[in-house]
Structure 1
Amino acid sequence: MKNIILSISLIALLTGCKNETTKEVKSTVQNEVASIDSYQPKIEIMPISHATFAMKWDDKVFYIDPVGGIEAFQNLPEEDVILITDIHGDHLNLETLNGIRSEGSLLIVPEAVNEKIKEDQSDAEVIHNDQSTSFDGFKVTAIPMYNLTEERLKFHEKGRGNGYVIEKNDYKVYISGDTEDIPEMRALQGIDKAFVCMNLPYTMTVESAADAVLDFAPPVEVYPYHYKGTEGKSDVIKFKELVNTGNSDIQVNQLEWYPN
């Protein structure tokens, strides 16, 4: 009889422990989901010129396509991460990169860029289209960027450069790099902020850019950037009108990308 009682007690104890463990796991998962759902990032955008800008996201500072000389970055916070999209001079300048990069900062680039900088910057992390890397709660995914129109194919071939999606707690920022309204852009989901290029003859028209923005599960905020081409600046006012005609809930932010 004692053995039976002990067995029943042991089963009850184990069952109770199992239930408590299940409750704890469930509670932990619920807390994590609630934390992600309530996450409000602190993001500050600091445009420098054309395709170059700094972005402070919570306690991390990102430099995007740093060009323009050391002096362009003198009044900016020190970077934690540098992202470079392509090999062209409005995205990559080795002298600027060598001059502004801080010790210990991450440098994320496509292979074509790495080939240009590896003698000076031997520790760059290379990611290819559709690959990702993670650090300190952030995830960076390389998005294809390339031309579609026949007469523009020579400017940006598929697979050479990277657009980027930066993500933290399901909050996503998309940086297009030099591209047209490619299927990979139109298929994006859950983007909260988007930096979208539009300049001829190198990337796409304002009409194509607006149509793509409306297609990719529209973001909360859009920043037209990289909008100066061989015949002047693209009509970003028209871009805003086209976007808001299609979806009035999208906030189109016009920043000063061409101070001079």
Structure 2
Amino acid sequence: MKPTLLLTAALATFAIQAQAQTPTATTAPRVAADQIATKKGPLTVQPITHGSVVFTWNGKTIYVDPYGGSEAYAGLAAPDMVLITDIHGDHLDPKTLSGLSLGKALLVVPQAVADKLPAEYKAQARILRNGQRLDTLGLQVAAIPMYNLPEAADAMHTKGRGNGYVLSLGGKNVYLSGDTEDIAEMRALKGIDVAFVCMNLPYTMDVNQAAQGVLAFKPGIVYPYHYRGQNGLSDVAAFQKAVNTANKKIDVRLRNWYPAAQ
């Protein structure tokens, strides 16, 4: 073979090998972000997967329950705050955390999560218990109960272990349910502008429970998220129908939280 052909073949082989070794940025195309107006500029809502979402607001970036591999967060700003709701692997995911740039991040967590955090993150953790609040980064974080019904010591989510959260920013209140059923504390929420509500059996709520809970506290906008259970994805269209049949004013926003499954 001529030298020119040998060089061409070698370069082609190198290019193929390099392409194979380069990790893809995400496992699937990222769902388009939404923007919600606040008094201090837009709140950008970027669905990631399952119970994970990224918020950008007023120059700050907040990751919620980062999970599923750091590749899903490629191209997003490094977090100023990370909210973690519970100890289960789809909320506290050390492998994903290790692939993220967390050097400047405050980790807001319940005690049970703090106890299980890898050692390198413990100094960055701020523990919030149910009912406690934290003012930081120009916003307020409130820890809200999340648990299974009926209450039992062997429940998958016991009262007081994990946190739902309410973020108050720019005149808007954003509720993140975490893993919960339609508990009294959720139903009693007031003034929620945006809600992220789970529905995945057997771990949290079914579609009807989630709809009835939302109809009780009447958020302006609701995103069904965290809707993969043991038997596949919950019927979020049925959730939307149940909510809007009873209350047309609630803006139910269906987004694909599982793009890799498509």
TM norm structure 1: 0.81
Distance 1:240 1:169 in 2: 27
Please name the residue that 1:174 is paired with: 175
Distance 2:189 2:40 in 1: 21
Distance 2:153 2:240 in 1: 24
Deviation digits for residues 46-83 of structure 1, max 9, x if unmatched? Answer: 11110112111232111000112221111212211100
**Is the alpha carbon distance of 1:193 and 1:41 closer, same or farther for their aligned partners in structure 2, counting shifts above 3 Å?**
farther
Distance 1:186 1:159 in 2: 17
Please name the residue that 1:210 is paired with: 211
SS of 2:195's equivalent? strand
SS of 2:173's equivalent? strand
Please name the residue that 2:86 is paired with: 86
Cα RMSD after superposing both structures: 1.7
Q: Can you give the 5+ residue segments of structure 1 that lack an aligned partner in the other structure?
A: 1-37
Please name the residue that 1:248 is paired with: 248
Matches within 5 A, 1:44-123: 44-117=44-117, 119-123=119-123
Matched, 1:146 2:147: yes
**Does the CA contact (< 8 Å) of 1:82 and 1:108 recur in 2?**
yes
Distance 1:150 1:143 in 2: 16
Please state how far the C-alpha of 1:150 moved relative to its aligned partner.
6.7
Please state how far the C-alpha of 1:223 moved relative to its aligned partner.
0.1
Deviation digits for residues 134-157 of structure 1, max 9, x if unmatched? Answer: 113200000000000479962100
Indicate the structure with greater helix content. 1
Q: Can you give the 5+ residue segments of structure 2 that lack an aligned partner in the other structure?
A: 1-37
Distance 2:129 2:81 in 1: 17
Distance 1:41 1:144 in 2: 29
Distance 1:244 1:40 in 2: 30
**Is the alpha carbon distance of 1:55 and 1:252 closer, same or farther for their aligned partners in structure 2, counting shifts above 3 Å?**
same
Matches within 5 A, 1:165-244: 165-216=166-217, 218-244=218-244
Percent identity, aligned pairs only, is 50
**Does the CA contact (< 8 Å) of 1:152 and 1:202 recur in 2?**
no
Larger CA Rg, structure 1 vs 2: 1
TM norm structure 2: 0.81
